[in-house]
Structure 1
């Protein structure tokens, strides 16, 4: 059923997908409120020094470029095939997008969403028509003040980067991990930060591309780095044959070179049992390591002066606990999309399609999860995939399968 304009759409998060969703909604005439817990694109700021895998053309929308161009006709964009850093993405696209006339006044920063529920209907009430007629009740907090906003549609684009997975065995906390959590580095180091660790003993836990990028930066600065993985010492999913993303291919090949050259010490097939700090602020990791031997595994120890943790992220679902959202038992993402992703089982995120519009539907009417959070614990989300989700969402809300604003502005 179509959501008539000017319905109120509340968007949680002013990250890249939140901004694009807000722009699309405003262009179509919806009333929009964007609630951002921190600053605009705050999580992108954390990795602003990092080169992106995909070219600029996959990290912008035709509508976004048109809105920025209308606001500032002299604005210069990166070339379509240019590989830019997150800093350039911020300065050349995301911040100008947030400052456009269509959405600037609709973004509320330092505005944290505490919970989303209905007003009169409870989670256990099963009448979907009654649920749809009952407005969303969104509890927000600014500094110490809480208040309620009502909305017809709620879209969660808050992402997962504020909720990293523990580095302990089985995906749970290692003994003592919560006490040293603030000392586990979750950010890819800058060149200066990597140089500051030269000569020190450093552990990198994880097998994704963030771990790989960190390992390269450290090894190239003569850091005594150990790569700790729960499986083999290779990037999760392995190297992609004929990888079309040149930066991703470069990272995979360079990591292999450094491992083969002995610049990176590998510690594969490890489960971290405990992590504690010593009197001299070093970190002691206790772990089990699987071998071909049938002997009982014994706890081993290693000392490090710095630890990086890149073991993925998980969604924080607490804010919509009172809504009827069917989550995947494995990824904690919305079940329809999660099942589709698990069935595709593609090693290359470029090969993962957005699927049918129905994959975005939840049992809760007019509540949607877009962006990285829609993948739950699954890695491989691309900004370009999020743009496809935005198109699909408004085809649902407008009850028009042919609706595609991006095509209107396509060069």
Structure 2
């Protein structure tokens, strides 16, 4: 039997009058959504789990972006900042993550228009319709959204006319296990596990110095961490580094000499040199099955390499395997996600990492982001599910399109204006001060904040991871 999804008709919106649009996450895409909506006369309220705007970005604030400032600022956000006499950073300079927060997101969140609308330390735990679970259809489109929120003063609920989830993915890492699950025994060695992009040369230096560190993952976050660990090993000779990947070869990281992103090419060649020189030991074709405590507070990694049982003893394991969306809070609303990528179904085929790099992802907006639940949208890194090709300017265009839709400008919402070149990655720790990042692929806009791997941080607070100038 063939089953079709029941999408209720849009009826009277009288119950929605006077209610704001709720935005989940005060990262770059969430704040851009608020700025776009306010320009159109649509009221908003923003819920941020962290203590500041872009709080997830601060966790990898020591990482430099590939993209210069000219590609990191949303147009509506810039107009808000201009009214506050914002001193824009040099357009062609490459910022660190912390610069993105301090010089852009914090001033934006402090503008008179946005500051009163942001609720910090408020984590949205559930989204539903007032008086309706996901099985109820009659009158659904006209019922307000109901959000349950954990805040400093306890649990509260609020109503909204629409919801934009920009909570990102940074708080939801992929598993270390090759089967998509955390390896057996992970809970017994939590003290030995590290998040992606640790601050190896800064605040976490003492933890890594003189240790055997295993970095798991075949993307650019792993490469960044390997480069920092190699630097640390020169200063702390007892530091040793092993790189574990499931693939037969780290082709995606190594790239090619013809890479049109010079900084990405340098990152790949530098990582390759670490392996060929012996500074980093590469274990390819390795599938992790189990983690267990070892002597002297270490951890034993058990798995298979090319079908043969293999063990590694280490002090620290860095999980640089990427991120996935946390969908728990959306269980009572009707969302339609691709069963593989976990992105909105109409978007999934456009961003499938088996077919696309970030430069070949088609521009998209509200038409691809819509769900069977009217006026509910997932935007930013979280909209890409497990796909690794998210672009920050793509997130800005997503929320511009959504803002037009919610403001009643339906035709404008479907005119997607972003032009994307064939390039990738978004962040590196190579000591370059500026870069064109991406070449212009069209007369209107050049997309310059690419991510070639889901191991890069998400664009929003998560959140999340959110979420940021780097991509997940």
TM-score of the superposed pair, with normalisation by structure 1: 0.90
On the 8 A contact 2:162/2:376 being kept in 1, the answer is yes
Q: Does residue 66 of structure 1 match 2:79?
A: yes
Aligned match of 2:228: 217
On the 8 A contact 1:233/1:266 being kept in 2, the answer is no
CA distance in structure 2 between the partners assigned to 1:265 and 1:199 by the alignment = 16
Aligned match of 2:430: none
1:343-374 CA-to-partner distances (Å, cap 9, x unmatched) read: 88223x13323235310110111100001100
Q: Relative contact order (C-alpha < 8 Å, sep 6+): which is higher?
A: 2
**CA drift at 1:405:** 13
1:42 is paired with a residue whose SS is coil
1:288 is paired with a residue whose SS is strand
1:300-319 CA-to-partner distances (Å, cap 9, x unmatched) read: 21111111111111111010
1:129-178 CA-to-partner distances (Å, cap 9, x unmatched) read: x2110111111111362121000101100001101111012111111113
Aligned match of 2:148: 139
Relative distance call for 1:164 and 1:182 in structure 2 (3 A) is farther
Aligned match of 1:25: 37
Aligned match of 1:177: 186
| Structure 2: gaps spanning 5 or more residues | 1-9, 234-238, 419-444, 446-472
Aligned-CA RMSD value? 2.5
CA distance in structure 1 between the partners assigned to 2:33 and 2:195 by the alignment = 28
1:191-213 CA-to-partner distances (Å, cap 9, x unmatched) read: 23457634421100001111000
Stretch of structure 1 that moved more, 268-277 or 248-257: 248-257
CA distance in structure 2 between the partners assigned to 1:217 and 1:236 by the alignment = 19
Aligned length: 397
1:170 is paired with a residue whose SS is coil
**CA drift at 1:77:** 2.0
Q: Does residue 253 of structure 1 match 2:269?
A: yes
**CA drift at 1:384:** 0.9
On the 8 A contact 2:23/2:165 being kept in 1, the answer is yes
On the 8 A contact 1:233/1:267 being kept in 2, the answer is no
Q: Does residue 188 of structure 1 match 2:201?
A: no
Stretch of structure 1 that moved more, 149-158 or 232-241: 232-241
1:204 is paired with a residue whose SS is strand
CA distance in structure 2 between the partners assigned to 1:237 and 1:396 by the alignment = 39
TM-score of the superposed pair, with normalisation by structure 2: 0.79
Q: Which of 105, 116, 121 matches 1:110?
A: 121
Aligned match of 1:357: 366
2:288 is paired with a residue whose SS is strand
Relative distance call for 1:247 and 1:17 in structure 2 (3 A) is same
On the 8 A contact 2:223/2:253 being kept in 1, the answer is no
| Structure 1: gaps spanning 5 or more residues | 291-296
